[in-house]
Structures are given as C-alpha cells and as structure tokens.
Amino acid sequence: MSVVVETNLGDITIDLFTKERPKASFNFLKLCKLKYYNYCLFFDIKRNFIARTGDPTNSGSGGESIYWQDKSKHHRKKYFSAEQIPIIKHDKIGLVSMINNGQLKHGSQFFITLAKDLDHLDKQGHTVFGQVVEGLDVLEKLNAALVDDKDHPLKDLCISHTVVLHDPYSDPSFVARLARQPSPEIPDYLVDSSRVGIYDDLNANEEKTAEEIEAELEAKEAQEKAILLEMLGDLPSADAKPPENVLFICRLNPITEEEDLERIFSRFGKINSVKIVRDPKTDQSLQYGFIEYDHKDDCERAYLKMDNVLLDDRRIHVDFSQSVSKYRSKDR
C-alpha cells in the first residue's frame, strides 16, 4: 500500500499503515488518485521538526477530505474523525501524519516529521498513518530549506504529482469518475510567485566562479541547440536569427491538443498561434511544437515558468525556438 509523491526536490515513497489507520489511508489514497495534492506547496517547514503540506490554499486552514469531493450528496463530510488506536508515536524521521484541525478531525493536510522523538506531537490529536521508505534525501533537502520569519520556504517547494502503486480499497463511484479527469493545470500562484521558481535552484551557483558558471551556460546552450536542430532540421544558417517571441515545446503527451496549450500558456500573454507538429500521413502528434506570442516579454515569462512542468502527466521541455523555417524568405 504505497504512494510515490513527486516533488520538485525529488520523489518520496510512502508506505501506508492501512491496517492500523484504515480511514486515514483510504482518505489519502483516494485524494492522490484524484490528483488533489498536485501543486500543493510545502508551506510551513520548521527545521528539525516537521514539513506541512496537503492544503490547496497553502494557508494552513484549507483542505477537505475525500468525502467532501462527492458532490452528489447533500450532506458531505468535510472532515473525518482522527484515529488514535492503536497508538503510533511520532518517534522517527519520515513519519506521515494527518493534521488535527482543532476538533480531532482531519481533512487533507498532513505533515512529515524531520526529526526523531517528537513525543509532544503524540498528544495533539494528529494521526500517524504512513512512513517514508524511499526519498530520505528529499527530507534532508526539505529540512535544509531556507525559510522566512514565518517558516515559509524562500523557494517554492511543492508536490507536483502523486502515483498510487497499490490501493487495497475499492473506489467509490465518484472517485472512479473523477480519477479519469486530466491532471490539473499549474496554478497562478506558482506562475506569478514572487519567490524562487519551483524548478530554479536557489544555491546552484553559490560555490562556483563566474568563469565556471559562464562555461556551464555556454555548454548547456550548445547542447540544447544541437538537439533542437537535429530534431527540426530547418535552420538555414548558423547566423540566421530565430524569432524572439516563439517558444519551442517538446516531450508532449500525444493526447495534448493545441487548444490545451493555448489555454495554459495564454496566462502569460496574448498568443498569436499554437502549432503541434504532426505526422503528415497519420496526423498523430510528434510530441513537439511551437507557441508564438504577440510580445517577446510574454514569451520570456512562459519560458522561465513552464520548463519541466507536468502537463497531461508528462514533464514538458520549453525553450526559445531555433526554427526559422517560417522566415526563410527573409534570408534569401
């Protein structure tokens, strides 16, 4: 009974205590199936204590149980009762615990312990329902995260996706129906965040010289250009200038349509055109394409925010277009 929780720091595998905590395990598994936790921030990290997440509002006061998601019922349950028997202590690093809402009830919020022997948590109504069995290095990164005076990380740290490896419980009809919906879009609070982006490294260049940083950037740029040119094969000369308002996007899910890309990327600015390249014989997506913005600045914002983002269960790659095929007449 395991779940892989993908974060922008790495993956965590959690084994659930389904026998000892059936209600909490059921709630967590079904919320994961509904992709409820996608893009939830680790909004509160206290070093050598706990990391809190699981609240879609990222405020510490939001989040509902799986029973609240069944909109066909008039009397839905926003919370469910805490499970205290048998006693499971907060005595290890990596324990996963549902957070008491103040009335011995739980919604969706949970925390992960970042230290041993947190005995004082045992009497606060939280319910330990799982254990991190893989990804302890990710917990070390969480514990080392730089935070402000309110314990909010300076860099946006979030759950990007959850994968249920084994679920012993049958799905209620509403879960089976909702689980078929596509993954949620990246929310505005991550796109417009004033903090360090979810895929930016806060300290990546801290111990490097200016020459080393410049050399790495040049090598990365050369590699990306070589890959793009090999894929596209339409750069007429090395000196030809590609358009500055066009993004190249690849690693798309074959089911992703141009309308999907336009809806998601239009939050950065006006889009003139979206083109997914397709096989001329089968009309199947070749899983890459181009997005043309009206303004260069909007294109740059999309580039900075959308690379490596999860879209239709695929991590996409975006870059500035190296294709000038649309503009060849200008070079002739």
**Selected residue with higher pLDDT from 291 and 209:** 291
As a whole-number percent, the residues of the chain with pLDDT over 70 amount to 78
Per-residue pLDDT at 195: 62
Neighbours of 277 (CB within 10 A): 16
Give the mean pLDDT of 266-293: 90
Per-residue pLDDT at 324: 40
Tokens of 324: 């000038």
What's the gap between Cα 60 and its chain centre? 19
- Whether the per-residue pLDDT at 277 is higher than 60: the answer is yes
Pick the closest to residue 273 from 237, 326, 203 (CA basis): 326
- Whether the per-residue pLDDT at 212 is higher than 50: the answer is yes
- Helices of type H across the chain: 22-33, 136-143, 173-178, 188-191, 210-232, 258-265, 296-306
CATH fold of the domain at 2-191: Cyclophilin (2.40.100)
Q: Which amino acid is at 230?
A: E
Which of the four pLDDT bands, split at 50, 70 and 90, describes residue 314?
confident
Report the 3 state secondary structure along 70-94: CCCCCCCCCCEECCCCCCCCCCCCC
Phi, psi of 290 (to 5 degrees): -140, 145
* Highest mean pLDDT of the ranges 73-82, 126-135, 147-156, 295-304: 126-135
Q: Which amino acid is at 164?
A: V
Per-residue pLDDT at 27: 96
Which of the four pLDDT bands, split at 50, 70 and 90, describes residue 239?
very low
Report the 3 state secondary structure along 267-329: HHCCEEEEEEEECCCCCCEEEEEEEEECCHHHHHHHHHHHCCCEECCEECEEEECCCCHHHHH
* Gap between the Cα atoms of 162 and 24, Å rounded: 16
Q: Which residues, at least 6 apart from 198, have a Cβ–Cβ distance to it below 8 Å?
A: 8, 155, 156, 157, 158, 160, 190
Which of the four pLDDT bands, split at 50, 70 and 90, describes residue 32?
very high
- Whether the per-residue pLDDT at 1 is higher than 60: the answer is yes
Per-residue pLDDT at 137: 95
Per-residue pLDDT at 5: 95
For the chain, what is the mean pLDDT?
83
Per residue in 118-171, pLDDT tens? 999 999 999 999 999 999 999 999 999 999 889 999 888 999 999 998 899 999
Per-residue pLDDT at 327: 39
Neighbours of 230 (CB within 10 A): 8
Residues facing 44 on adjacent strands: 52
Per-residue pLDDT at 309: 87
Per-residue pLDDT at 262: 93
CATH fold of the domain at 232-331: Alpha-Beta Plaits (3.30.70)
Per-residue pLDDT at 243: 74
Please count the CA atoms within 13 angstroms of the CA of 99 that sit on its side-chain side.
20
* Highest mean pLDDT of the ranges 84-98, 177-191, 195-209: 84-98
Per-residue pLDDT at 232: 47
When mean pLDDT is compared across 10-14, 39-43, 234-238, 298-302, the lowest value belongs to 234-238
* Gap between the Cα atoms of 326 and 34, Å rounded: 41
Q: What is the pTM of this model?
A: 0.62
Whether 222 contacts 271, CB under 8 Å: no
Rg for the chain (alpha carbons), in Å?
A: 23
Per residue in 39-57, pLDDT tens? 999 999 999 999 999 999 9
Per-residue pLDDT at 70: 82
Q: By CB neighbour count within 10 A (0-12 exposed, 13-18 middle, 19+ buried), where does 174 fall?
A: middle
When mean pLDDT is compared across 12-26, 46-60, 197-211, 261-275, the lowest value belongs to 197-211
Residue with tokens 């312990």: 113
Domain-by-domain residue ranges, the chain?
Answer: 2-191, 232-331
